[in-house]
């Protein structure tokens, strides 16, 4: 079940502040997450001074509204994966300041909430309790709640937008003369209004991992110049692969792949017919588990073609039916690039290509993404939190059907690596596919 974030605040009579915007937004703040009919209070705190526990914090909510507005494109436009575990402190700082509430500024008392994108549709909320050690020895309150939940991107965007707009409405009524009100309005227009002067630039910067509001004028001009050279669908789909300095090299690689798309022959009727037959039910897109959406897509394909749910699907045969044109690539950041020019055969660039799993994986965007009558490109890469987790799960179900794995396990309720290897050999599927099926469908406990 998808979780839901709720930010509730009640304006209070404020202490004496020179800035009317701070005074107008002084409030009692409560933050909740609801999932599986359980409600978690993220603002449950121990007040060290009063020596009491409560479910709210007090202070100005303006910094949180500012952070949401400035970080909006990082949360909802960018698909960049978080830095690797052992990345530099600078890389983690750059990511954290746009994905963690503790970077909202002004010393606001806020729970340590992080927003981590899982794929194209789901964002995971992670919140941690205060440590109670030297890292927070001067904090008045210690946060007590810890947890994780997954939220549908559209639902999260609506919750955060409702909060920001409620803060702006309060400011419009109580503090119109504050410079921070003007600044928040500018941040919010750049986040939400496509007609705003820097909407496109700030969104593009976020996709490169840059924070538009900290760039000097020289860097902003350079960003706009390079952005103008990102001209084809492959280049646009893979912006998150590059930084500002490496973007032109990516564009050259993307141009080569896109030229293959524009020179491909006419799309086959079989491709259109197959796509028309595989329609995912609306509820499938609401699942917060990427593996479940991939599994559901594979089942829809089997039903559409009358394939046995206990037998592997021949991805090579379907690729030929689709008329996909394979090409090889060598970029280690990529798994594959799937794209097509409107009305033409699709091109699949695999890195490296040809394996059965890769073919099954790349069927997912070919059948379930885009529209054959419009230009389209999809990048499957661990560096981009988008289609890859769902496509991997789709391929896993095609190659190692859950029914076949279940039958091979029989009455076994606990497996180790040797058992998984034996099952994989028995059904002729990769070890990793069998392992993921057992884990995801909870077929047995893995030792």
Please, where are the H alpha helices in 25-138? 62-76, 89-96
So what's the pLDDT on residue 302? 95
Domain boundary among 158, 193, 223: 223
Which segments of 301-441 are extended strands (E)? Answer: 325-328, 336-340, 347-350, 376-380, 414-415
Q: Are residues 371 and 357 in the same domain?
A: yes
So what's the pLDDT on residue 1? 62
Strand order in the sheet with 45-47: 52-54, 45-47, 141-143
So what's the pLDDT on residue 109? 83
Number of domains in the chain: 3
Structure tokens at 407: 């039958």
Domain boundary among 163, 196, 223: 223
For residue 31, the cross-strand partners are: 7
Q: Are residues 258 and 388 in the same domain?
A: yes
Q: Are residues 242 and 323 in the same domain?
A: yes
Q: What is the pLDDT of residues 94-120, one digit of tens each?
A: 899 999 998 877 656 899 999 999 999
Q: Are residues 395 and 409 in the same domain?
A: no
For residue 59, the cross-strand partners are: 27
Please, where are the H alpha helices in 45-178? 62-76, 89-96, 153-174
So what's the pLDDT on residue 355? 83
Q: What is the CA radius of gyration of the chain?
A: 25
Which residues touch 270 (CB under 8 Å, ≥6 apart)?
Answer: 321, 322, 323
Q: Are residues 172 and 235 in the same domain?
A: no
So what's the pLDDT on residue 131? 78
pTM for this predicted structure: 0.92
Q: Are residues 205 and 287 in the same domain?
A: no
Q: Are residues 17 and 164 in the same domain?
A: yes
Please identify every stretch of the chain with a pLDDT value under 50, giving residue numbers as ranges.
Answer: none
Q: Are residues 210 and 279 in the same domain?
A: no
So what's the pLDDT on residue 106? 63
What domain range includes position 423?
Answer: 402-446
Q: Are residues 240 and 134 in the same domain?
A: no
So what's the pLDDT on residue 381? 95
Q: What burial letters (b/e) apply to 263-286, b meaning 16+ CB within 10 Å?
A: ebeebbeebeebbeebeeeeebee
Q: What is the pLDDT of residues 9-50, one digit of tens each?
A: 999 987 778 889 999 999 999 999 998 878 999 999 998 877
Q: Are residues 27 and 172 in the same domain?
A: yes
Q: Are residues 97 and 47 in the same domain?
A: yes
Do residues 368 and 293 lie in contact, with contact meaning Cβ atoms separated by under 8 Å? no
Q: Are residues 212 and 233 in the same domain?
A: no
Q: CA 394 to CA 324: how far, in whole Å?
A: 18
So what's the pLDDT on residue 137? 63
Do residues 119 and 388 lie in contact, with contact meaning Cβ atoms separated by under 8 Å? yes
């Amino acid at each position: 079940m998808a979780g839901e974030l709720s930010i509730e605040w009640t304006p209070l009579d404020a202490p004496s502040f020179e800035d009317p915007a701070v005074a107008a937004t002084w409030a009692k703040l409560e933050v909740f997450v609801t999932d599986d009919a359980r409600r978690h209070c993220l603002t449950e705190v121990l007040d060290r001074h009063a020596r009491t526990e409560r479910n709210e914090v007090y202070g100005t909510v303006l910094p949180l509204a500012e952070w949401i507005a400035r970080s909006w494109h990082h949360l909802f436009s960018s698909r960049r994966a978080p830095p690797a575990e052992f990345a530099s402190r600078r890389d983690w700082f750059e990511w954290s300041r746009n994905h963690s509430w503790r970077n909202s500024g002004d010393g606001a008392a806020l729970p340590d909430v992080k927003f981590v994108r899982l794929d194209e549709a789901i964002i995971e909320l992670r919140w941690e309790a205060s440590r109670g050690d030297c890292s927070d020895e001067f904090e008045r309150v210690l946060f007590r709640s810890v947890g994780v939940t997954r939220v549908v991107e559209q639902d999260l965007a609506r919750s955060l937008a409702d909060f920001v707009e409620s803060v702006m409405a309060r400011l419009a009524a109580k503090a119109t003369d504050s410079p921070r009100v003007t600044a928040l309005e500018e941040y919010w227009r750049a986040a939400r209004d496509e007609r705003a002067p820097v909407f496109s630039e700030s969104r593009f910067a976020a996709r490169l991992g840059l924070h538009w509001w900290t760039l000097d004028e020289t860097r902003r001009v350079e960003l706009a110049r390079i952005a103008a050279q990102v001209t084809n669908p492959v280049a646009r789909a893979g912006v998150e692969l590059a930084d500002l300095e490496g973007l032109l090299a990516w564009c050259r690689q993307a141009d080569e792949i896109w030229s293959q798309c524009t020179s491909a022959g006419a799309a086959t009727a079989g491709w259109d017919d197959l796509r028309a037959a595989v329609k995912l039910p609306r509820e499938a897109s609401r699942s917060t588990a990427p593996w479940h959406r991939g599994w559901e897509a594979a089942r829809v394909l089997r039903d559409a073609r009358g394939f046995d749910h206990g037998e592997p699907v021949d991805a090579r045969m379907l690729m030929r039916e689709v008329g996909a044109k394979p090409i090889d690539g060598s970029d280690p950041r990529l798994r594959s690039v799937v794209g097509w020019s409107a009305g033409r055969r699709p091109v699949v660039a695999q890195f490296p290509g040809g394996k059965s799993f890769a073919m099954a994986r790349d069927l997912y965007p070919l059948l379930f993404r885009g529209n054959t009558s419009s230009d389209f490109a999809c990048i499957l890469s661990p560096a981009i939190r988008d289609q890859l987790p769902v496509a991997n799960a789709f391929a896993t179900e095609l190659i190692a059907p859950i029914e076949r794995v279940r039958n091979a396990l029989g009455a076994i309720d606990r497996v180790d690596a040797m058992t998984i290897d034996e099952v994989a050999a028995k059904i002729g599927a990769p070890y990793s596919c069998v392992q993921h099926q057992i884990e995801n469908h909870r077929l047995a406990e893995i030792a």
